[in-house]
Structures are given as structure tokens and as C-alpha cells.
Structure 1
Amino acid sequence: MQNTELVCVGTAPSETESGEANASGLQVIVLGPTGGPREDRVTGLLVRSTSTEWSSNSVVAVDAGTLLCGIIDTLEPCDNYQELSTHGPFAGLHLPHNNASANATHFFRHIIGAVLITHPHLDHLSAFAINTPVLEAGSGAKALAALPSVVAAIKTHVFNDVIWPNLSDEDGGAGLVTYQRLVEGGNPMMGRGDEKGYTRVCEGLLAMCIGVSHGHCKQRFVAEGEIQRRMSSVTYGGYPHTFDEQAGTGQAMHLASSRSQNCKLIGTRVVSPEISPGLRVPGKEGWATVESSAFFIRDPATKKEVIIFGDVEPDSISFDPRNSRVWEAAAPKVVASQLRAIFIECSYNDDVEDASLYGHLCPRHLIDELIEFAERVTELKHPELSLVKKSKRASAPEVPAEPVLSPRSKKAALVGEKGDHRRGSARIRRRHTRARLVLEDTPEDAERKNPSISHAPEDVGIDLALAESSDPLTTLEWPEPPLAGLLVYIIHIKENMTDGPPAGERILQELQAQGEAAGLGCEFHIPVRGESVFV
């Protein structure tokens, strides 16, 4: 991977680039592709429908660790007194001013309609706070759209007249920012058909937000009176989770959407006094999962979509696993050829142990998540086939009395469940460095291949063998590559800041090798700052 920047150059776009832009439905501009520690290129993306042609309020920013400075840097090569940008990511954009800073400010004020924040960590939010003073009352308040818990954290800990002036239009603020609280999982009152649940976030774009988990941390209560004052306008949807430290139960709590009064804020999560029991985490009393988000962004004109993840951890090691809900919602969109690209973090390479991921992904876990996604897609594309869900990992298995081992197993290990899956003839194998899942032929399959074989007893099904294997990579056999044509852009890579090769080079190599072995069919890319992606 070349460590270069894609910027505006002094030539017109090629015919291929122009045709790609005209034919596409969505454009994504990557302002900040990394996860730090450099503050000038942390997470920040712009998304627009190409049909809007840079009209007023036609762009959304997704996260804002980098925002105004990223726009300035991308526009600077075009700083030549042009009235119209003719090339680069902002080709076709009207430039009313003579320098990049002024044009970027115009863009922020008038072209960006909303800023979507996945979670309130500084590397996803700080630029928006720093940039807000350039907003003008005459241009209207800039919408900050996020889950209610994220808005509550930003109100309480950022725009609070202590860390930063209260520039919002709530609690007597200056009115330059307005909060748009999104319903977790989609607003059921909005949209129809495959757009049900989506909310209009700017001219030409719809969005839906699903909560995901970003690690866990110790939490403490804040003064209840202060929280009631700051959260008086919060409207809750979905079911965010947290752990009640005061009760000391370590239980996950479900927040009722109609009970916003008398709520207490615990860090970035909200707890209602009326709750129902959820996941219990032994030995983790007083800990809470940190909530992040995945945004589905849709161009209703072409029905094309992208998913942009905030920071996210693998379900396999999460206190509060929720990624499967994203894959469940996304699978039908792949089948319908609507979902074209996913922007997702992969902060570290596979040298990092699970205990040191701190709520992030590495290649082995991202591939595992994509395998689950692929299984859901295959189930929809081939309903006649019987696909077996993934077995538990070797670290936390169920151990039946009589394990069934694959021939290449080195030692007795762990066995999943048995089931009757005789509807189809698909044969899918998964082999992993620490686990191997083998689906054997059903009796009907065996008889069809060899008529001399008699019927097996009626209760014979497929054995799932989970055992230690010498295979270096997970390999899968699908009826067809389930994620073929899907673009996976890797963001939030933690830069190593050394003389060696960029951290992304190894991450990309590991993803490409494991993705190819798994037969997923998707393409992995690592964008650079200022890169423009058309889908």
C-alpha cells in the first residue's frame, strides 16, 4: 500500500472518473482515515448523493475527529480563484471565495446539512466542537444527529459551559447546534418498504442507526439533579444497555423508550429506574459497555447504501454483543444489490491479544464478523440450503459427552451441537487455527452420490466438529462467494509512528489473505486522506 494522499490536482478528471461519478449514487470523501495518535487525520467522512450536485444541505459528515481542516487540506490544491472546482473530490463544487479556508468554511456552514456522531470519544467529536464557532446564526443551527445516549454525553460533558461553551439550542445555549436524537434500530414511524425506519438527515440522504458495543469501562453515577436538567428533552428509542453499579448486580439493563423521566446517566449510557433484567456478567459488577453506532446511509434515488461503523468490538469477546443485528439488517441489502460498501475499523494487526484490543477490531475478528455476515447473506440467497450457525469459539465451548473429531484433529477438543439439516445438499467446511467446523453429507446426499448406500436412521443429521487443527487460515466453501462485489474500506487504523512500514500495510495483507481463504468475495481497501469513493 502506498502511503500517499489523493488530492486535487491540476488536471481535469479522466473520462473514467467522470463516468463513475455520474453513474454512481453515493460519494464518500475520507477526511480522516486513522485512529490516531495524529490529531489531524482521525476519523471523519463526508457522504452525499451525487444527484444533489453540491446543493445546500446535501452532505452529511459522519464523525468529526477531523472536519474543517480536512476540507481545507483537500481544497488547498484548488486555491486558484476558480468559481467551480473542476477536479478532485470536490469536483463540481461552487467556490464562492478565493482561498481554501474561506471555501471550506462556506462548505461547513451551507453544504453540510448534519453531522452524525457514532460515539462521543474525542477522536470522533473534537473537530466539531472546535469548528462550531464559525457557524452563523443566519445559516441556521447545525444538526448533530446521534443516539440519545451519545447526545446526552455530549450535552453533559462537552457543550456544558465548562469543557466548551454551550453552543446548542438547549438549556439556554447559543443556538448554533441542534440535537437530532435518532431512534436506535430505526424509527418505525418513518419510511415505507425497504426504507422503513430511515430518517432524512440531509437533502438526498436517509439514515438509520444501529447501536454496537465499543468495549467496556468502569462507570459512576453523576448528580441526579444535574442529569435531569440536562436530559429533560431526551426521547429514547430502541434498547440501550448498561450495568447498574449502585445496585452492584452486574446486570445489563434495558431502557424503556417511554420512561425518560427520573433517568440517571452513567458515563455515556443512560439507566431508567424501571428496568428488566438482561445479560449478567459474573465478576464484572460496576462495569458498562461503551455504546457506539453503525450508520446505514441510503440514497433513495438509486437505492444504494453504505454502512459506516464507529469504533466497534467483536461480538465474540463483548459483554454486550450487538454486531449480529447490523449483519441481520444488512444481509437483505446485499441480496438486493443495494449495499455497496462498508467502512469499518480495524485498529490493529493480529499480533494484538484480545485483552489488549480495548473495544476495537483486528483482522482475525473482522474476518470472523464478515463470515457471520456472509452466512446470513447465503441463507437469504439460497433458502433451499441448510446453513448451520457458527459454533462457539474454542475459548468458551459446550462440551457434549462424545466429541466427533475431524480426521486432521491433533487432539480431542470441543464439539458443537447436532441437528437435523437434511433439506439441502450444500456442503460447507470451516477450518481455523484453533477450530474446525465440518459439515458432513446428510443420508440423502450420500445415497444420491452412491445408491448402494442404504438409508441411515431417521435421527442422523450433521455433525459439527470443533477441534484444534493445523490449518493456518479459516477456509470456507460456499455455493458462491457471498460478499462478491462488496467493498470493505478499513478506517481507524492506529498509526505506529515508527520508521517502519505503515501499520495499514500489514493489516491489509492479513485481511486479504484471510478473506481470500474464507472465500468471502469482498474487496479490502485502506483509503488515504482526501480519497473519494463512488458507489
Structure 2
Amino acid sequence: MFFCIIVQYSNAQSSFTILPLGVYGGSDESNLSAYLLAPRDSQNYICLDAGTIYDGLKAAHSKGFIKKNEADFFKENIKAYLISHGHLDHVAGMIINSPNDVKKNIYALPFCIDILKTKYFTWTSWANFANEGEQPALKKYTYNYLDTSKETLIENTSLFVKPFLLSHSAPGKSTAFLIRNNDDYFLYFGDTGDDAIEQSNNLKIVWNAVAPLLPAKKLKGISIECSYPDEQNDKQLFGHLKPDLLFKNLKELENLAGKNSLQNFPVIIAHIKPDGDNETLIHEELEKENTLNVKLIFPKQGEKINL
């Protein structure tokens, strides 16, 4: 038996509100990876990656999921950015909209901040709206260097984050963010390849860290990428996952957390590359291969998910 949810998923005892501003991994510049997240009953959101901002807010407003106009919500309710890596489909919305933004923090691992500082917020690519890098630094955004060894409070929210390093087409890097709200957690993955293909143990480290949270019912959901259908050759994945690799990894997590620990567990499927029939194939393959009986959630731009 499998569960496939393609509309808003709601949990009556939810701990987090997630508002997807962009859900795809390419081909549609108006709908690229960006997820707002806030504690339940809070309007203080963090932005997990920022490929698309304004088009996502317009979609959320038109569907009734936010009441404020887009410009005010953008300035007042998005309190910080957490950026997993420096690829354009994860940062373009933040960069393009930076002239109209207000002072905020950017949280990321050092490798990612270095990309923002030397490739994007420069006076050759764009104005430097950050507090470091090419001068003059306009200091609208403040870089906050995350450390994989500790948890960090996200200022202007009640949320904490612990980062994990991921491999994304080695030697490329990315990040997973474990977000804590009181005693509840949500795990967000930036782009990631499979450990065996990437010749790393980064995913194994993440699974070992979060496995104890499952039997304790403290992990409320995961957002993880599935960019290609199974027909994609492993050598052509470019640091991404496909359905069989995704379930291979979820089975590793279940082995650590205990049998049936993932039954009905919410898994948001992110970063689908919607070229051709990819999206349909990925949906079908995930449904067919879902022997773990997780709740598959296919997010829609501008539609809230409560976990």
C-alpha cells in the first residue's frame, strides 16, 4: 500500500508550516527550489534555498495561503535565508530580489558563503548587498558561517539549525539542514548524490544522526530531492538522486531507526527536473517502489504543507 499526496498535506498536530515558493530543479525559472518554513502558528519564516521568491509569493497570495501583499510578506515575514549550495537554481531568487529586500541573515556552510561572496554578490556580477567581499559592501545581508559540529539559533525566529555536508557531483558540495522547533525536527536536503556513486559517507552520517528521532516521533518530515527517473544512467546523475536510489537511502534510514519506523512518515519530493515526461515518470516510479509505505508529498508552488 502506498500514499501519494499531490495537494496540501495537513497534520492536526503539526509542528511546522512549509510554504513552497519553488519546487523544480530546472527548466522553469519561475518555480525553482525555495521552501519557507515556520513553527506552527508563527509567521516568522526561514527560506530554505532561494531559487524563486517573488513568483512563489504571488502564487501563494493568489491561492489564499498568504493574506499580505507579496512585497510586504517578502520584507516582513521572511526572516533569514539558509542556502544549501551556490547553484543558480538555489540562489537566483534571493539575488534578483535583493534590491527590494530588507536587512536579513544568510546562514550557510563556509564553502557556500565563499561562492556567494566571490561569484554573485560582487560588483561585476551584481551589487554586493552583503557584509563581506568586494567593496563597497552594502551590508543588507549578513553572512553567518554554520558549523557542522553544532546547532545554531536562527535570529529573529525560535528555530535552530544543524548543518550536514553533502556530496553533489563530487567534488561539489551541498548541505542538509536539520531544523529544530522545541523538541520537533524537520530535515531539509539540498541537492545530493548517493554515497556509493559519490564515493562519500555523507548521507550515512545524516541518517545516523536523525535515526533516533524517528522512534521518538520527533522527526516530523523530510524534504529530499529526486531529480531524474530511474532510466537515467548513474554516470549521468550529476550529483542527484532518482527513485531507486532515494528508496535505497530511506531503507538505510529504516534499518537504523527500526522496522516500520517510516510507515506513514512524510517525505516531500523536491527538485524534480520537469523536462519531457520526467515528472510523470518520477511520480509513477516512486509510487510503485514505495514498499516502505511513506507518505509521498509532491509539493505545489504556493500551497502550504503542515507537518
Shorter-chain TM-score: what band?
over 0.9
Match of 1:512 in 2: 287
1:68 equivalenced with 2:54 (yes/no): yes
Match of 2:109 in 1: 147
Residue identity opposite 1:510 in structure 2: E
Which of 15, 24, 35 matches 1:25? 15
Cα distance between partner residues in 2 of 1:46 and 1:24: 15
Q: Confirm or deny: 8 A CA contact 1:201 1:207 kept in the other structure.
A: no
**1:513 Cα offset (Å):** 2.2
Number of aligned residue pairs: 303
Cα distance between partner residues in 1 of 2:237 and 2:264: 29
- TM-score, normalization by structure 2: 0.92
Paired residue secondary structure (2:185): strand
RMSD between superposed Cα atoms in Å: 2.2
Q: Confirm or deny: 8 A CA contact 2:215 2:261 kept in the other structure.
A: no
Residue identity opposite 2:57 in structure 1: I
Alignment gaps of 5+ in structure 2:
none
1:46 equivalenced with 2:36 (yes/no): yes
Paired residue secondary structure (1:125): helix
Match of 2:297 in 1: 525
**Counterparts of 1:312-351 in structure 2 under 5 Å?**
312-351=192-231
Cα distance between partner residues in 1 of 2:172 and 2:218: 30
**1:319 Cα offset (Å):** 3.1
Residue identity opposite 1:149 in structure 2: F
**1:523 Cα offset (Å):** 1.8
Q: Deviations over 1:436-469 (max 9, x none)?
A: xxxxxxxxxxxxxxxxxxxxxxxxxxxxxxxxxx
Q: Confirm or deny: 8 A CA contact 1:63 1:117 kept in the other structure.
A: yes
Which of 260, 264, 278 matches 1:485? 264
Cα distance between partner residues in 1 of 2:200 and 2:267: 24
Match of 2:89 in 1: 123
Alignment gaps of 5+ in structure 1:
7-15, 78-87, 96-102, 188-196, 217-288, 379-479
Paired residue secondary structure (1:367): helix
Which of 163, 179, 191 matches 2:143? 179
**1:511 Cα offset (Å):** 1.9
The list of structure 1 runs, each at least 4 consecutive aligned residues, that deviate by more than 6 angstroms after superposition, is none
**Counterparts of 1:159-178 in structure 2 under 5 Å?**
159-171=121-133, 172-178=136-142
**Counterparts of 1:437-476 in structure 2 under 5 Å?**
none
Q: 1:201 to 1:214 in 2, by over 3 A?
A: farther
Q: Confirm or deny: 8 A CA contact 2:61 2:302 kept in the other structure.
A: no
**1:304 Cα offset (Å):** 2.1
Residue identity opposite 1:40 in structure 2: S
Q: Confirm or deny: 8 A CA contact 1:296 1:308 kept in the other structure.
A: yes
Which of 143, 160, 176 matches 1:294? 176
Match of 1:113 in 2: 79
**1:68 Cα offset (Å):** 1.9
- TM-score, normalization by structure 1: 0.54
**Counterparts of 1:47-446 in structure 2 under 5 Å?**
47-52=37-42, 54=43, 58-77=44-63, 88-90=64-66, 93=67, 95=68, 103-136=69-102, 141-171=103-133, 172-184=136-148, 186-187=149-150, 197-216=151-170, 289-300=171-182, 303-378=183-258
Cα distance between partner residues in 1 of 2:279 and 2:285: 10
Paired residue secondary structure (1:160): coil
**1:5 Cα offset (Å):** 8.1
Larger Rg: 1
Residue identity opposite 1:509 in structure 2: E
Q: Confirm or deny: 8 A CA contact 1:345 1:490 kept in the other structure.
A: yes
Residue identity opposite 1:483 in structure 2: L
Which of 26, 42, 58 matches 1:36? 26
Percent sequence identity over matched residues?
30
Residue identity opposite 2:209 in structure 1: A
**1:76 Cα offset (Å):** 3.1
Residue identity opposite 2:222 in structure 1: I
Q: Confirm or deny: 8 A CA contact 1:60 1:202 kept in the other structure.
A: no
Cα distance between partner residues in 2 of 1:531 and 1:348: 23
Cα distance between partner residues in 2 of 1:202 and 1:24: 21
Q: Which has the higher contact order (CA 8 A, sep 6+)?
A: 2
Paired residue secondary structure (2:46): strand
Q: Deviations over 1:127-161 (max 9, x none)?
A: 1000110024xxxx211110011001110101011
Paired residue secondary structure (1:64): coil
**1:530 Cα offset (Å):** 1.6
Residue identity opposite 1:525 in structure 2: I
Residue identity opposite 2:123 in structure 1: D
Q: Confirm or deny: 8 A CA contact 2:21 2:301 kept in the other structure.
A: yes
